[in-house]
């Protein structure tokens, strides 16, 4: 099957004449059909846990644009909820969680073995998609990386600098590491279950990796990714893993080898030319058009897309944004980007 799926070919190390393309948050609020389905669901979490509607929104950008991959519609914070954290979303402000700041909070979390009871609807969405996608489209599952998930669980929300998580890490390392351990174990089980349900690739999103510096990056971004990937490789040989340590900067160098990732996704704070010289030499890379081009469009969108494709043409490359598409993006600009990648 992989010979008919450009994403899998790139992940296997093949340099393709036209890079395959998908887009982070490609099922999202910029699409009118997504907004209609979300209204039908009632709220964001209800949409995540309604397998039929989550399947529908995952398929919407495939129908509209013909991307080479569909990524499961879910959220990285479903894992903390499955572990027993309270989770809700505030309109216009984002997620809120009950906080964990001490050992008692960690010990009150549910056993990892119990997470599937909450997450079963997500696995059903994966099964639905595995049977519904066109044969050339790859199905990607995902989870948040332990550090990024921990930052939300400690602060109870997203923060500009992940300050509360850094504070707990520095003040009570044993409690912080106990929380990281629980999240790491849960992430392995969650991604493994997605693969068993039909995911052909999984991605680990470490959205806040860039706030970890020096040894902390190695210990809390690199090491958990390496452990998760090794466990998945042992259980599911041949299933590729994409790792995204966003804003890792120089730490992108060697991340393939340090973690065992089949592909390293890069954000737009580094140039495609730098990525080609320093990261792509080790394997497949994914990225890295600035998301703002999906809002502003124009010739700058086309020329920047073509520049990235050219810069990364010498090795395996999956075209994507440097981060997720934003709600204010113009759907027509997505089509312009795809046409520029594919030369049409």
Query: How big is the chain by its Cα radius of gyration, in Å?
Result: 19
Name the active-site residue from 9, 25, 182, 336. 25
Name the active-site residue from 38, 226, 227, 336. 38
The edge-to-edge listing of strands for the beta sheet with 284-289 is 69-71, 138-144, 201-206, 241-245, 263-265, 284-289, 317-321
Q: Who's near 167: CB < 8 A, 6+ residues apart?
A: none
What tokens were used for 282?
């080790």
Supply the angle between the helices 173-197 and 163-171 in degrees, to the nearest 10.
Answer: 120
DSSP 62-83: HHHH--SEEE----TTHHHHHT
Instruction: Specify which residues 144 forms β-bridges with.
Output: 205
Name the active-site residue from 68, 75, 206, 267. 75
Chain centroid offset of residue 149 CA: 12
User: Is-catalytic flag, 65?
Assistant: no
Strand, helix or coil for residue 146: helix
CA distance 82 to 74: 13
Q: Who's near 126: CB < 8 A, 6+ residues apart?
A: 72, 139, 141, 194, 197, 198, 199
What tokens were used for 182?
């629980």
User: Is-catalytic flag, 25?
Assistant: yes
Please identify which residue in the block is written with the tokens 């500009």. Answer: 160
Chain centroid offset of residue 125 CA: 17
Name the active-site residue from 30, 49, 152, 190. 152
User: Is-catalytic flag, 64?
Assistant: no
- Peptide bond between residue 60 and the one before it cis (omega within 30 degrees of 0): no
User: Is-catalytic flag, 152?
Assistant: yes
Q: Who's near 2: CB < 8 A, 6+ residues apart?
A: 8, 9, 12
User: Is-catalytic flag, 172?
Assistant: no
- The catalytic site residues sit at 25, 29, 38, 75, 152
């Amino acid at each position: 099957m992989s010979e008919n799926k450009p994403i899998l070919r790139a992940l296997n190390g093949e340099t393709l004449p036209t890079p395959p393309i998908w887009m982070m948050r490609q099922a999202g609020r910029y699409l009118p059909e997504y907004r209609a389905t979300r209204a039908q669901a009632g709220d964001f979490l209800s949409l995540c846990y309604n397998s039929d509607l989550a399947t529908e929104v995952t398929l919407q950008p495939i129908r509209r644009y013909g991307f080479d991959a569909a990524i499961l519609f879910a959220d990285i914070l479903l894992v903390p909820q499955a572990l027993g954290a309270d989770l809700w979303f505030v309109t216009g402000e984002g997620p809120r969680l009950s906080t964990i700041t001490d050992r008692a909070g960690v010990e009150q979390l549910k056993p990892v073995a119990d997470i599937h009871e909450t997450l079963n609807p997500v696995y059903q969405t994966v099964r639905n998609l595995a049977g519904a996608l066109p044969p050339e489209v790859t199905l990607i599952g995902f989870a948040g990386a332990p550090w990024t998930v921990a930052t939300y669980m400690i602060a109870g929300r997203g923060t500009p600098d992940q300050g509360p998580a850094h504070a707990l890490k520095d003040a009570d390392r044993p409690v912080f590491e106990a929380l990281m351990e629980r999240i790491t174990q849960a992430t392995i089980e969650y991604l493994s279950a997605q693969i068993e349900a039909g995911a052909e690739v999984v991605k680990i999103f470490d959205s806040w990796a860039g706030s970890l510096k020096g040894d902390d990056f190695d210990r809390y971004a690199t090491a958990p990714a390496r452990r998760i990937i090794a466990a998945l490789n042992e259980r599911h040989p041949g299933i590729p893993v994409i790792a995204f340590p966003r804003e890792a900067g120089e730490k992108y160098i060697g991340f393939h080898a340090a973690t065992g990732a089949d592909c390293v996704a890069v954000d737009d704070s580094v140039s495609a030319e730098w990525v080609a010289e320093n990261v792509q030499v080790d394997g497949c890379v994914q990225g890295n058009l600035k998301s703002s081009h999906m809002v502003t469009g124009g010739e700058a969108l086309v020329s920047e897309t073509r520049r990235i494709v050219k810069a990364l043409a010498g090795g395996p490359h999956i075209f994507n944004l440097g981060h997720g598409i934003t709600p204010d993006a113009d759907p027509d600009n997505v089509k312009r980007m795809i046409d520029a990648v594919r030369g049409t």
